Structure 1
């Protein structure tokens, strides 16, 4: 049954954003879809504070409401104050993108008339309109997350006009990147490889310090290029280790306090991103930037999209995908990935991208050292 019958007046909508950066990026088609189908409604976005940076600049929301479940709103008084605020809004429709029980509980406590989300994690009683996950041979079917979120929109009667990821950058952050390039003498006439090694999901997604360092060395050896390194401020430790191991073959931008909104601009300005299966990968997809992804413990079906201009490097191991945050064994799914394979993927992708660009732009895409 359609959640919102034809002709029903919807004045206000609360969308609960996913809790992880990559998932939030993959939710942008759903955000856009809701705005396109309810152009006159007031749309509020409930989100975790650290996710806000990746969505800043998006034109689909009238109000941004931060929900800091691990810090501020962990206090009962603050939590109840948030619930009171949401109840005052008298939302007609709530679209709950995360799968958690806690996200559905907030919508229920807020008294939202129609609450749409997936029936899972024992929360169906909190939803007025629960949606079942797709199944294949009796088992839940892994689905690309952008399509997973759009299915919730479709259940409300929304017409899906586009499935493309979409992000925005400010002129201020783009100018900051230009100043960083000038400070570090990064020439736009050479390919610029940006390495982002972090994965907030857990250590199981991470690659080795030696692997990233050796990749930088090989790129410098085989191509006339720049290799930049950028991590979140709290990941300075691994950035410093990679910088030292690379022996001067990498420019570490982490001391410049690379926030999410600045990272977006860096990815947009770079020629190619090298990263693990984490949020920055999806930022690259949104900006249609080439990306080489090192994937280990996760099922690629959750993140695979034809929109991606890239290469996904995976080693076939009997224990993957496990979706564990920490590996209980020898981390072979990531340890077995060789830097030579990563560099080869980069070179192949550069040639592929160059073949689709005008000669004036392609000239600087791939320049081999002789």
Structure 2
């Protein structure tokens, strides 16, 4: 059995999709699973033991490029896939499996995909959680509602490369003389998911005064935010706060997050990575909801406000006040961290 997965394009979604691959391997232990995904996903996919091969998607996210999809589909046809699972909901994402002549093409209804998919699932909203929607595709349509529940979904588990981890320690001049708390203050989705910088700085200050050290995670575009957080600390405490944003590759960040005792994060891709490498998680939700994309870890504390306008799932606050984040005080987050570190 050879399976092609058309994978998602966001870090968090890609991590959560591992739950589907794990379920497929449970059902079909000898199956080979290849994942078609953007190039940046390859290091993440290589940390999933269920994945045989990551295939680079050469067409940019959002681009239609019918000729390019036809050419890629005909190239994949030679691999002889028997099944395909299409995780994005767009019509264009279902074209390549059709062009590849894959006999069984499974996915949720969306964007006029009636002809493109022949194992079409009618309404993904019958499942509350995104991970349930992924895992349900592994079950027959007739039984998926009774078989798939959040508590039965396999949790993502990314492997950790100790050699890369140690090399990154040396490269970034890090040590673990103090217990390490990771802070992930960015969110690719938009500002309505980002807890205020000064709140993160207050948390960092309290933790350092109590003998912890802080590692700040993110990409290059998060560097401005992480610089502000570190600069807001008293001068004598800054030596225990390390700004790693933009200093690591994504796969190095995976291994560095695995070295953290606890991670405090907005609802972001790094939150899901942290959960998948076994960290204790304090997850901060603003405009989004843990009733849709919770961190899939064993030890999780979820914090959010209960104001009436959340969750709105908007990139920017439509009311202009960001109360869902501004009214979530640092003490609430500290109390949640205390449940892990005492």
Q: Which band: TM-score by shorter chain? A: 0.7 to 0.9
The equivalent residue for 2:101 is 111
1:62-81 superposed Cα distances (whole Å, 9 cap, x missing partner): 32211144279766654443
Q: Which moved more, 1:307-316 or 1:67-76?
A: 67-76
The equivalent residue for 1:235 is 222
Query: Against the structure 1 CA distance between its residues 204 and 106, is the aligned structure 2 distance closer, same or farther, given a 3 Å change threshold?
Result: farther
How far the C-alpha of 1:162 sits from its partner, in A, is 6.2
Decide which of 198, 210, 218 is 2:206's aligned counterpart. 218
Counterpart secondary structure, 2:137: helix
Counterpart secondary structure, 2:160: coil
The equivalent residue for 1:200 is 188
Query: Against the structure 1 CA distance between its residues 162 and 76, is the aligned structure 2 distance closer, same or farther, given a 3 Å change threshold?
Result: closer
- In the alignment, structure 1 residue 89 sits paired with structure 2 residue 62: no
Query: Against the structure 1 CA distance between its residues 316 and 73, is the aligned structure 2 distance closer, same or farther, given a 3 Å change threshold?
Result: closer
How far the C-alpha of 1:133 sits from its partner, in A, is 3.1
Q: For 1:301-320, what aligned pairs fall within 5 Å after superposition?
A: 301-304=291-294, 307-320=297-310
Query: Against the structure 1 CA distance between its residues 124 and 308, is the aligned structure 2 distance closer, same or farther, given a 3 Å change threshold?
Result: farther
- In the alignment, structure 1 residue 334 sits paired with structure 2 residue 325: yes
Paired residues in the alignment total: 331
Unaligned runs of 5+ in 2: none
The equivalent residue for 2:120 is 130
Q: For 1:129-278, what aligned pairs fall within 5 Å after superposition?
A: 129-133=119-123, 140-141=125-126, 143-155=128-140, 163-179=154-170, 183-184=173-174, 186-188=175-177, 190-221=178-209, 223-248=210-235, 249=238, 250-254=241-245, 257-278=247-268
Distance 2:188 2:127 in 1: 21
1:145-201 superposed Cα distances (whole Å, 9 cap, x missing partner): 2222111001289999861221112233221243257x24x334x321111112112
CA contact 2:304–2:328 (8 Å) conserved in 1? yes
Decide which of 55, 62, 76 is 1:65's aligned counterpart. 55
How far the C-alpha of 1:283 sits from its partner, in A, is 1.9
How far the C-alpha of 1:94 sits from its partner, in A, is 0.6
Alignment RMSD: 2.7
TM-score by length of 1: 0.81
- In the alignment, structure 1 residue 37 sits paired with structure 2 residue 19: no
Counterpart secondary structure, 2:97: helix
Query: Against the structure 1 CA distance between its residues 270 and 67, is the aligned structure 2 distance closer, same or farther, given a 3 Å change threshold?
Result: same
Distance 2:52 2:227 in 1: 40
TM-score by length of 2: 0.87
